[in-house]
Structure 1
Amino acid sequence: MSSSPATRRMSASQRIIVDITDWNRFLFAGKPISGVHRITLGLLRAWKKLGLPFEIIRHDPETNRHKIISHRFIEEDFSEPIHIGGGRIEYSYNKYVQRRTRYFTELAKAKLRRFVKKKEVVHEDFIEGNYEPQADDLLYFCGAGWDAPETMHAAHKWKAQHPGFRFVVLVHDFIPLINKVYRNRLGTRQFRRWFRDAARSADEFICISDNTQADFMLHWRRCGGQGVPRCRVVTNPHEFLSVSDTRNQPMSNGELSAETFLANRNRRYLLTVGTLSSHKNLERLLSAWNTLNFFRDPEADLVIVGDNDPRDVRSLSPIRRNVFLFQKPPDDILKLLYMNAFCSIFPSLYEGWGLPVGESLWFGKVCLCSKSSSIPEVGQDMCPYFDPYSTEEILLALTNALFEKDYIPSYEKRIDRGRMKSWATYGSEIHTALLKMT
């Protein structure tokens, strides 16, 4: 898909502000960024490459101010923990998660600590100063809003102070509100509180798929939305995004690293990218794989990439000789795992988009896909589909892929990069959509 130019130019006073406050929870905890944050990072890198103007801000818990972040920040290697400021900062409590009494207690303690210090702490690494909202600013939040109550509250205040100020929110999915696939009551409460705030504060919404937009309209009234919401769809890119360089430490599978596996493999393998969280459905995939191994040798390995506890995977897969787990391979190794796979498989029960499906197709590899939610929007007619709730259908998909000679080649012929979206195209589409909202 070719990049489309922005239909309007920004005036000198207009600014697009992207908030990354939700990154605090990961960066301050010493964790690498998640899939949602990869979308934000890919967008910002695309805008920078395209030469489009934007500013980055995030809430600083130490000073209780939103800070402007240097564009240098998005060029960092995000496979390792990065602290935006000069030192390790305590992350404030999330009012969407904590009980109100505890939240206000911790908030009072934080204010007392700031008062005792009697001066603002300045962190010099990537911070360029305080963010001062202006009347023509457009604040775009495209990350995990449920991890950024400070920004949701600030946006509501800035809109009241500046009548021309606009707030746009990207909605990824409604998985926490779907009881059939999500089993974390605390996560459901956190998401619902965030969406109620978003419904009250945001001027417009962007959804990442038609399926997410349908869910948005369904839950809008249930979560306190008033009137008819302004909501449009801009689908995610297919292109693989590398956020990190090769790390020195090996990605362990016992004594085996992903690099060693690739160098010494002597037969084909299927790749699946995901975790053991309930909606990713790896349990059914492993059950189908175990059944296949019981009846015949698949003459292939199953490679699982994701932040999973090896003990949990072993408990679900008694046949371990052809199941390999690599927890957090660097992106250049993950790219090689995609490129050298026989095919991939994605059994998820529910997705807002389905990044691994698009990434697999981007490298010319067929993905055996769940037919649930938005996933067919990603794979289109380039992928075979199955019912993710049926272990039998997953087993049939595996059997067809591994033992039907012409099955995978017939789908490989359908893969066409011209029908896929690059990060440059995605960046241009989002920028154009935001300009139409100003």
Structure 2
Amino acid sequence: MLWIDITDLLDYLGQHSRPSGIQRVVSELARTLVECAPERTRFVRRFAGPYDFETVSWRDMEVLFAEASERTVSRQVVQAAPFSPAGTGPFIPPQGLFALIREAVNMQASVFRHLNRLGENLTGRFRRAFRQSSLHSQNSLPHSASGLLLSEQARPGDVFLVPGSPWNFADYARTVRWLRDSRRMTFGLLIHDMIPVFNPEWCDRGVIANFTIWHRTVLPLADHVFTTSAATARDVQKYARQERMSLLSEPAPIGIGAPLPRSAPASDRPTRLPPPDSYVLFVSTLEARKNHIQMVRVWRRLMEERGAAHVPTLVFAGRVGWLVQDLMQQLDGMNWLDGKIRHIASPTDRELASLYDGCLFTVFPSLAEGWGLPVSESLASGKPCLASGTTAIPEAGGSFARYFDPDNAGDIFRIISETLDDPQALVAWKDRIRRTYRPPQWQDCAHRILERTGCSQP
């Protein structure tokens, strides 16, 4: 049996309106693992201490994913940039305060639930055993009930997989040792990137500390190490050498699929989106590493040299993240280049698909990535992508994307100008993508995990 820890995914969706990169990967991978091995895939969440995990019904997860995919967000809420007053310590924006309050309530609820479990009597055990027997008769494990204890469900030889980012649990190494030593299970880990280790300047200090401590204690215990890309696999090996750490498993790249739903008919295009063929699209959380500031400089130069009427709108699609206070203040100060830059905050899946469908092309100038999901999504939508040529991004774009140096505004300006100046070549590029590009499939990613862990169904 493959047990998948989705604690951090549920926590994230409880605190944010829409899933971001890692959460989208985890949700799509979870969905595909169920499709590929329905009788061997189960999900769990942590509810209290390092040994306290309970099952989560796949049906419950499907409902949650569906709600999150179409949940709309107020622009006023997500576009406000957090400001940290000097000398007052770390600033927590209002939405962060609500998240902390919610987390405190959840923690208290978890404590009470844990006490109830400790005091569980024979009647409760009989009731759960009866429910388990009933579920077994249905012969459909992915639809089993939530709330069963992992300690009573798992068997020796089962596999426990962490596909997300539970780095806030500093005691996770205790969980892994309990799984391996007491439950006789094997432990698998999917690493999306090593950016907080090798590029800490682009990360929040808390993330750097949590990420570093977590991987230093957990990675040496992993029986199976998966990565999203070959570039990330090399970074994991580099980190292991740097820490003089012996890995139990050679990092195995699984790739990333292109989880893009079919768009609605043009007549149903969401009203808050710009008209088709009037804009260039940049899909990403707004944070320093994604390099939005470079695109602002390029767009301002395009307007100076060509005139606003001859420059398409640049659309930023994503929520506001960290380390972009200066960027947001500059954009407000320049009136978002008089409307030539627009922000579509936290687009729904339907809006995102429509944005891809209607754009001239996409840009992705990120300074470092573990894969580059927007590049794959752009190509899967039949739209050309001009992207950074660094880290794992060329693995996502292959020969179908065109690359630039993300640190060189002149290089970005040149490639974008050439693309705008030759509309016939752009049409031919789109046609080539639509005829010959084969999007990476989530089924391939799932099969690599199932085969490596021995959980493939006969």
Please point out which of 22, 39, 47 is paired with 2:33: 47
User: Paired residue for 2:275?
Assistant: 265
* Aligned partner (choices 206, 221, 225) of residue 205 of structure 1: 225
Say which of 239, 242, 248 aligns to 1:219: 239
State how 1:18-97 maps to structure 2 within 5 Å.
18-29=4-15, 31-52=17-38, 53-61=40-48, 65-78=52-65, 91=103
- Given residue 159 of structure 2, which amino acid in structure 1 is its aligned partner? L
1:153-207 alpha-carbon deviations (Å, 9 max, x no partner) = 31221211144x1001001001111237524332211111111122232112011
Structure 2 counterpart of 1:134: 155
Structure 2 contact 275–358 (Cα < 8 Å) conserved? no
Distance 1:119 1:60 in 2: 16
Aligned-partner SS, 1:205:
strand
What is residue 440 of structure 2 aligned with on the other side?
Answer: 421
Once the two structures are overlaid, the 10-residue window that deviates more, 26-35 or 376-385, is 26-35
Measure how far apart 1:436 and its partner are. 7.6
Distance in 2 of aligned mates of 1:385 and 1:76:
39
Determine if contact 2:380/2:437 at 8 Å carries over to the other structure.
no
Letter in 1 for 2:285: T
Deviation per residue, 1:259-318 (Å, 9 max, x gap): 2244x7275210001133111000101111111111113331111101128954434665
Which runs of 5 or more structure 2 residues have no equivalent in the other structure? 70-99, 125-130, 132-143, 322-326
Deviations 1:34-60 (A, max 9, x none): 221211211121233335321101101
Q: How does 1:120-159 map to 2 (within 5 A)?
A: 127-132=146-151, 133-149=154-170, 151-159=172-180
User: How many residues are matched?
Assistant: 392
Give the counterpart letter for 1:42 in structure 2. Answer: E
> What is the CA deviation profile of residues 225-271 of structure 1, one whole-angstrom value per residue up to 9, with x for unaligned ones?
225642211111134258xx99xxxxxxxxxxx82244x72752100
Maintained 8 Å contact 2:280/2:359: yes
- Verify: 1:351 aligned to 2:369, yes or no: yes
Question: In the alignment, which residue of structure 1 is the partner of 2:198?
Answer: 178
> Percentage identity across aligned positions?
24
Q: Is the 8 A contact 2:221 2:248 kept in 1?
A: no
2:401 aligned counterpart, secondary structure = coil
In structure 1, how many angstroms separate the alpha carbons of the residues matched to 2:389 and 2:26? 26
Separation in structure 1 between the aligned mates of residue 344 and residue 194 of structure 2, nearest angstrom: 28
Contact 1:167 1:201 in 2 (8 A): yes
State the alpha-carbon separation in 2 of the partners of residues 227 and 117 from structure 1. Answer: 36
Closer, same or farther in 2 for the Cα pair 1:25/1:34, shift >3 Å?
Answer: same
Distance in structure 2 (CA, Å) of the matches to 1:77 and 1:127: 14
Separation in 1 of the partners of 2:253 and 2:147?
Answer: 33
Give the Å deviation of 1:149: 4.2
| Root-mean-square deviation (Å) | 3.7
Identify the residue that residue 379 of structure 1 maps to in structure 2. 397
Q: Which runs of 5 or more residues in structure 1 are unaligned? A: 1-14, 83-87, 94-105, 247-257
Please state whether the residue corresponding to 1:32 is helix, strand or coil. coil
Change (3 A) 1:180 1:62: closer
